[in-house]
Amino acid sequence: MTDITPAGSMTDLTDDPDAPLLEVRNLAVSFRTTGGEVRAVEDASFTLRRGSALAIVGESGSGKSTTAMACIGLLPGNGRVTSGSILFEGQDLVELPEARMRSIRGRAIGLVPQDPMSNLNPVTKIGTQVAETLLVHGMATKKNVKQRVIEVLTAAGLPDAGERAKQYPHEFSGGMRQRALIAIGLACQPRLLIADEPTSALDVTVQRTILDQIETMTDQLGTSVLLITHDLGLAAERASQLVVMHRGRVVETGPADQLLNDPQHPYTQSLVRAAPSVAAVRLRPGAFTADSATRRKLAEEAFAEHEAGHGTAASLDSGQASAAGGSPAPSSPAGAHAATSSADRPAGPADHASAPPNIVEIRDLTKVYKRRGSKEDFYAAKNVTLDVPRGQTVAIVGESGSGKTTTARMLLKLIEPTSGTMTFDGMDVATLDKAQLNDFRQRVQPIFQDPYSSLNPMFTIERIVEEPLNAYKRGSKKERSARVRELMDQVSLPQNALRRYPAELSGGQRQRVAIARALALQPELIVCDEPVSALDVLVQAQILKLLGDLQSELGLSYLFISHDLAVVRLISDYVCVMKDGELVEAASSEEVFQNPRHPYTRKLLASIPGNELKIDEDLAS
């Protein structure tokens, strides 16, 4: 690897190599809002040693990113440190004027932020952005800055760095943009690197590559790392010490192995239990046994707790009251194209005793796009063949660009296939007339990835859930209103949420609204396109369990799209692995995870953060 340390660089290290690099003591951070002052962090304390890695773990709103931004002096304008100290090499950063912080920020403390698209200047070349950092901190001269930029980008793992330096952020892939941020963050060889969710938007294989790059570079430079993440497995794999934050407070600290296998705080225990793992078994959903009144009461209590300021977004989502028992979901030892008998299927909203055992059959499905300025066509999906057995879950997994979402969109008839056939309940989807297509769109419903953009922000929750009923003229106004309230009970949302807007709900609640909307027309197949990838691990676990329970209760079939194999392990009966538009492996979930045959499947499994960690089985179960 290229050495990125320039001759004569400053070190500024203290004389005592055993002294802590960063000490946060009794830190409190508040934000001024129109509703008064909000305490985001209270009494937070931890210590980071030189040359080591420490991870702060917690869900959204726990205060982990606020703590990190306080350490680098980048709190928003309405935020301030109200008490406590942040000692960096013995110097209290809280007391420093902004001019002095600017000299430390970037030079002594580097930052790799979460979203490269919003943190890279879209109208400035990558090389210019790296050069700016080097010149501002005196790490290069105008004479040698171009060479230094190439060295820094090469060290960050960007091939052909000289040419890449001349490109703009939109010309980079997500992984390449993240490497550019790493290059900027480490360009000045800082003693501390703050990595704030540096890989949360990346596929698992790209994620491992980026984390390996950070680890290699920081090891070479002797840089300490403060990692911010909601992924407990990733944190334990990449950091020797963990700090768990909940509702703005540090609730537990200690070595990674200790916190994984012997967590003391209930919140840490819940994180360990909720973390998806390929070692876990398929969730066996049970039908709802609590009646509507009980589910409604529990949901309203959780909502009221949050409104009173005593809960977080995650606690707000915990109002689900589903039974752990019930009959296990049917499974078949055969592969993804196996049929199940009608006797083994859960009862659905209609009698399917005489219906085909597979609700969906896809054969040689292909989607080709013409490339502008090129004679070669682009195959987004190529000869995809798979079945979805009635009442069961088939997952399609793969990296971005593998063709999984393209396949789902063709099934939903949002895009037309170039060739191949699709049948739904024995009907050829391509030949449906207007009346049949109208019926098809009611029986097949989607749940999209992002609960923040898939709901109309100008509509109330009641209007959002009722919209499909209005569009297809289902029932009278009174009957539609009753159906909406029934759906709210099914997804464990309180009735008083109906008057609210999406912006007033948490991410998990919004996804529950999206699920309620999808259920409104009593569909038989739901296409779930990355439905939990935008959610924290605790909320993710709740939504997965809700989907499983609804499948058991209503006899739903799922086509589940995901790049996260650990999530797929929990929800799927069958798994189809896609790469570069083609299906490379298809088998039962058990077979894929216990005996993966294709090298690409094995690569995906090996790339999952925390995959090699050993967690006590009793605790994880």
| 304-345 per-position pLDDT tens digit | 555 544 333 333 333 333 333 333 333 333 334 433 333 333
Q: What is the DSSP letter of 371?
A: P
| Cα–Cα distance for residue pair 477/474, rounded to 1 Å | 9
- Helix ranges, 246-339 (H): 256-261, 266-274, 292-307, 313-316
Query: How confident is the model at residue 345, as a pLDDT?
Result: 35
Tokens 């002594």, residue?
Answer: 108
| Cα(12)–Cα(189) distance, integer angstroms | 11
Mean pLDDT (the chain) is 83
Query: What is the per-residue pLDDT for 276?
Result: 64
* pLDDT above 80 (res 423): yes
The mean pLDDT of 283-311, rounded to a whole number, is 52
Asked whether the predicted pLDDT for residue 578 surpasses 80, the reply is yes
User: Band of the pLDDT at 132, cuts 50, 70, 90?
Assistant: very high
The whole-number pLDDT of residue 17 equals 60
What pLDDT is stored for residue 272 in this prediction? 83
Closest CA to 286 of 596, 548, 475: 548
| Closest by Cα among 258, 137, 348, 336 to 613 | 258
- Scanning 288-350, the segments in alpha helix (DSSP H) are 292-307, 313-316
pLDDT digits (tens, 9 = 90+) for 383-404: 999 999 999 999 999 887 889 9
The CA-based diameter of the chain, rounded to the nearest angstrom, is 81
Report the run of H or E that residue 164 belongs to, with start and end.
Answer: helix 161-164
SS3 548: helix
Dihedral, 526, 527, 529, 530 alpha carbons, nearest 10: 50
Contact present, 120 and 181 (Cβ < 8 Å)? yes
Please report how many Cα atoms fall inside a 13 Å half-sphere around the Cα of residue 185, on the Cβ side. Answer: 30
SS3 111: strand
Examine the pLDDT at 28 and tell me if it is beyond 80. yes
pLDDT at 157: 85
pLDDT tens digit sequence for 82-92: 999 999 999 99
Give ∠ CA 569-575-581 in degrees, rounded to 5.
Answer: 125
Q: How many other β-carbons are positioned within 10 Å of the β-carbon of residue 419?
A: 11
Average pLDDT of span 125-129: 95
pLDDT at 412: 95
* C-beta of residue 517 within 8 angstroms of C-beta of residue 351: no
Residue 22 has pLDDT above 50, yes or no: yes
Instruction: Give the list of residues 6+ apart from residue 458 with CB closer than 8 angstroms, or none.
Output: 501
Q: Report the percent of the chain where pLDDT is more than 70.
A: 82
pLDDT band for 438, please (50, 70, 90 cuts): very high
Question: Where is average pLDDT lowest: 47-61, 208-222, 547-561?
Answer: 208-222
Report residue 535's pLDDT band, with 50, 70 and 90 as the boundaries.
confident
270, 274, 225: which is closest to 251 by C-alpha? 270
Report the candidate in 617, 613, 619 with the shortest Cα–Cα distance to residue 234: 613
How many helices and strands (H and E) does the chain possess?
23, 20
Question: Residue 302 is which amino acid?
Answer: A
Q: How far apart are CA 537 and CA 542, in angstroms?
A: 9
pTM for the model stands at 0.73
pLDDT of residue 281: 54
User: Which residues is 37 bridged to in the sheet?
Assistant: 32
Task: State the pLDDT at residue 243.
Answer: 96
User: pLDDT-based confidence at 155, cuts 50/70/90?
Assistant: confident
Q: What is the dihedral of CA 407, 412, 415, 420, to 10 degrees?
A: 60
pLDDT band per the 50, 70, 90 thresholds, residue 355: low
Which has the higher per-residue pLDDT, 309 or 410? 410
φ and ψ at residue 398, rounded to 5 degrees: 160, 170
Q: Report whether 319 contacts 303 (CB < 8 A).
A: yes
